[in-house]
Structure 1
Amino acid sequence: MAHPHTWTSAPPAPDLLIPDPADLQPLCGREEFTALLRDIVTDTAPRLFAVVQEYGDRVDGRVAAWGMAFEDHVDVISVEGHRRARAASPEQALRAYRLGARVVPHLMWP
């Protein structure tokens, strides 16, 4: 029985979009390059924050979600994993976690 997929020797689609670096020289040695990448990671890492919900006036509370604040937006995921959202700012993300007048959300930065 013939396989339903046709296999070709064509390069993968991303390789058609990305220039071949084979003729380019490395920027530096492996250790220095690793340090450069580490600096990029440090400079662009999002800030972690929690959305906590306060029930009543200090009656109870819980962590409702965790978020990552990037330079131009935030991504938030509920602790149950059922709600994911993107917002312009951490403060804007709080709106989804207010439940009437009795449950008030707050931001907390670890």
Structure 2
Amino acid sequence: MSGNDAQSSVDRRTKPRSPAFDKLMAEMVADQAPRVFAVVLEFGEQTDAQIVAWGMTLDGGAYMTTVDGRNQFVLAEAENALRYVPSRSNITPHIVWATPGADG
């Protein structure tokens, strides 16, 4: 195996970063990371549940995709995801945040 593949060439040309800059980048990513949520259907009164979609919020809105990937939605806010879940008796849709304490 040769060491001349594209990735190893890039790695050799990259100057080492300072730990301070690495910390700055990590803080920037943490501050701007999207919040992840799931749309969960509750069947009956806490009888069973199923995740039917995953989404994420950014400063400008939210995005959601069904778990099978067939449907994708651009939303003004995460709570609007519930509008796209079929309404049926004895089934209650919920937004559940993947990160505890995330309030949307």
Q: TM-score, normalised by structure 1?
A: 0.65
Q: Which amino acid aligns with 1:109?
A: W
How big is the shift at 1:49?
Answer: 0.9
How big is the shift at 1:102?
Answer: 3.6
Query: Residues of 2 paired with 1:91 and 1:72: CA distance?
Result: 14
1:86 equivalent in structure 2:
74
Select the structure that is richer in strand: 2
- Quick one: higher RCO (CA 8 Å, sep 6+), 1 or 2? 2
Q: Find out whether 1:65 has 2:58 as its counterpart.
A: no
Does the aligned pair in 2 maintain the 1:49–1:66 contact within 8 Å? yes
Give % identity. Answer: 34
Q: Secondary structure in 2 aligned to 1:63?
A: strand
How big is the shift at 1:50?
Answer: 0.8
Q: TM-score, normalised by structure 2?
A: 0.68
Task: Could you tell me which runs of 5 or more consecutive residues in structure 2 were left unpaired when the two chains were aligned.
Answer: 1-16, 99-104
19, 22, 27: which is aligned to 1:31? Answer: 19
- Quick check: which has more Rg, 1 or 2? 1
Q: Find out whether 1:109 has 2:97 as its counterpart.
A: yes
How big is the shift at 1:55?
Answer: 2.4
May I ask how many residue pairs the two structures share in their alignment?
Answer: 82
